[in-house]
Structure 1
Amino acid sequence: MSIKTDVSGLTLLGQHARQPQSPDEAVLERVPNPHPGTRYCVRFVAPEFTSLCPLTGQPDFAHLVIDYVPRDWLVESKSLKLFLTSFRNHGSFHEACTVGIAKRIEELLEPEWLRIGGYWYPRGGIPIDVFFQTGTPPEGVWIPNQDVPSYRGRG
């Protein structure tokens, strides 16, 4: 079975792309869902997400898990990778990063459902986990647990 995906109009896939300097500069692209009308879950995991503390400039680290049930569109993965790495030199609190990522994807795709778990490593000895979802998960779709353990430190 061969399903063709329309990639016309994409500016990053298959091209040399420079790293965006900020999330606002980053281009997030989409491709048509090859199975419109079929409910399924798409998951992206970014275990080495980084951003900067907006006050101290110190690096912050998180493990992000993004799940969504698409309608007509899928996020193009190279553009998502570049979008996520655009936070490396961006100062923003954990909550702003996590929810901002979700809202940007939601705006682009208009998915049936979306959730993000931001599992942040400790800052000042306190880990901060941030969760966002657009509503109740659709019935009949297998949506696995995120299974990211709470931070327990060493031992």
Structure 2
Amino acid sequence: MSDDLRIKIIDDPFDDPDAGMVLRRVDTENAATYGAADQEPVGKSDFTRPAGLFLLGYDPDGSPVASGAYRLRTDTRPGGVDAEIKRMYVEPDLRGRGYGKRILAELERAAADAGATRAILETGTRSVAAFALYQREGYELIPLFSDAYADSSTNRALGKFLDTADNASGAAGE
């Protein structure tokens, strides 16, 4: 169950050895699935508070087994603040235990606290389990927003309005 996952905020994922190990696994899986690692550039400050956040999940033995991050964006829709979810990952043999759902929920909560009213992300059609998780958690298809994947036939963008006091109901793609 996801209750045994200990989540830790990593202030500098590019210098943290555990985060580095998990990020290499993310890149390796993306390369095996899509032929290349994530093509969208991210900077050191993208996942650093207050502009972003990087989370690592540890199993009961203290091994890093899951990750997720967001970066705040104001360029994806007029007048809105979006949290772009990035680097979602769970070790393959631990999938189905709710770890991804728990990391995603923590990211959404923190992003709403940071002022985001919508979470957005991109995933590929070959990541069937990830796509299903996002749909179960209320994400809907929205227009593509990343230049890095604009020409990709396998890329899908998804969005979900976050639970905030300022957030009125509406479709995620608005």
TM-score normalised by L of structure 1: 0.33
Rg larger in structure: 1
- Which of the two has greater helix per residue? 2
TM-score normalised by L of structure 2: 0.30
The answer to which structure, 1 or 2, has the higher relative contact order (CA under 8 A, 6+ apart) is: 1
